[in-house]
Structure 1
């Protein structure tokens, strides 16, 4: 495959998704470490922390795959690696696992009030966009 010229929007998308995914990775890390200063600063009520503590291992694994897959995907995208597509696919698998758990879990009202109803739509929309964008850049020969 012939090397394609990197379009200007590639760097914009790469850097914006890196920032978005880095925020998610930080949130995951601070939550897993139970950094109370962070959690309280983000407005997590005690009921929300208790809810997080009872996540089953498979839902925790899904959360980790979603966050770290997306962050790795953005880094690989910026390095113009074709493996960005696979990292984003792993991220979507993780998001699906977490979404499946949360759909059946009894989330405390105090925690549910913190997350706007449109947030899962934004999360899924951005994840699917990142996958599509990596696929598109690979198809055009931008990713090696």
Structure 2
């Protein structure tokens, strides 16, 4: 039986904050897939865009949001599977980004500098969580 090291304080902080962050992505995904976007303040053009994602793009989006949320939960449970889960979320993010940047006709209202900054933040946070989980696994904190 392998003994694990005591979890550092930052694991709990990063685990909780990342879970809250990733639950925001899950909420966005569920609102879209359950047809609840009409309750939000978005334009008909934006509604059409979000509801027109092809199945393959929705599948990548699901991998991204659910992979990240599960990765955060696994991080809090101190499981090495967090690394794999965050890795899967990167694959999902890649597919979603490919669709949004190379395939889709994104409405101009969703192409603001703020939107682009938010998209970049998602990439930075997702990769950072993957690297963090790998380091914690390598140090024996995750089993």
Question: Structure 2-normalised TM-score?
Answer: 0.93
Other-structure match for 2:115: 116
Q: Moved runs in structure 1, 4+ residues, more than 3 A?
A: none
For structure 1, the 5+ residue unaligned runs are none
Q: CA deviation at 1:2?
A: 4.0
Write out per-residue CA displacement over residues 75-130 of structure 1, whole angstroms, 9 at most, x where no aligned residue: 01100011000000010000000000111221011232495221111000000000
Determine helix, strand or coil for the equivalent of 1:26.
helix
Alignment pair present for 1:129 and 2:128: yes
Other-structure match for 1:32: 33
Between 122-131 and 49-58, report the one with greater CA deviation: 49-58
- The 8 Å contact of residues 19 and 73 in structure 2, kept in 1 or not, is answered as yes
Q: Distance in 2 between matches of 1:74 and 1:59?
A: 23
For structure 2, the 5+ residue unaligned runs are none
Determine helix, strand or coil for the equivalent of 2:115.
coil
- The 8 Å contact of residues 47 and 111 in structure 1, kept in 2 or not, is answered as no
Q: Distance in 2 between matches of 1:26 and 1:114?
A: 23
- Across the two proteins, how many residue pairs are aligned to each other? 140
Question: Structure 1-normalised TM-score?
Answer: 0.92
Other-structure match for 1:20: 21
